[in-house]
């Protein structure tokens, strides 16, 4: 089972980031965190890399449902979405597949929440 849901685009990384944020919002997700991995690696290690940003997306209603069924599930929140530039100049946007990550948790009640979040993230990726 793959642990991500991805799509490759032929737009700039900044355009892909903005579009991802728009469609995440349309599916009820807010972006709680944004990590510029490219800048962080340059600052901390003085190493260059292509555009790579991690968006920490959260749908409050789905997070509430997950936390009410499994209090420690916060260790797997928020749902990460990455925007990264590929070698050929195209851009890949990938979201975590919550069904895959939730398999590590021995709590069958999380299945329906993970399924709903997966469907929403799938729609996000398809809408890009």
| pLDDT category of residue 51 using cuts at 50, 70 and 90 | very high
| pLDDT category of residue 34 using cuts at 50, 70 and 90 | very high
Tens digits of per-residue pLDDT, 68-110?
999 999 999 999 999 999 999 999 999 999 999 888 888 888 9
Tens digits of per-residue pLDDT, 105-116?
888 889 899 999
Question: In this structure, which long-range contacts are made by residues 10-17, counting pairs with CB atoms below 8 Å and at least 24 apart in sequence?
Answer: 10/90, 10/91, 11/91, 12/91, 13/51, 13/53, 13/83, 13/84, 13/85, 13/91, 16/83, 16/91, 16/93, 16/128, 17/53, 17/55, 17/83
Domains along the sequence of the chain with CATH: 4-127 (3.30.310.70)
The predicted model gives 31-58 an average pLDDT of 98
pLDDT at 1 over 80: no
């Amino acid at each position: 089972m793959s642990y991500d849901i991805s799509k490759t685009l032929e737009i700039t990384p900044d355009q892909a980031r903005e579009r991802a944020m728009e469609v995440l919002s349309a599916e009820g997700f807010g972006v709680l965190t944004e990590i510029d991995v490219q800048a962080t690696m340059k600052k901390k290690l003085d190493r260059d890399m292509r555009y790579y940003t991690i968006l920490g997306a959260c749908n409050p209603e789905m997070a509430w449902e997950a936390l009410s069924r499994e209090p420690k599930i916060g260790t797997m929140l928020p749902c990460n979405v990455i925007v990264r530039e590929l070698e050929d100049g195209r851009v890949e946007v990938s979201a975590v597949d919550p069904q895959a990550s939730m398999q590590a948790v021995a709590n069958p009640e999380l299945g329906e929440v993970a399924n709903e979040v997966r469907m929403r993230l799938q729609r996000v990726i398809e809408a890009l």
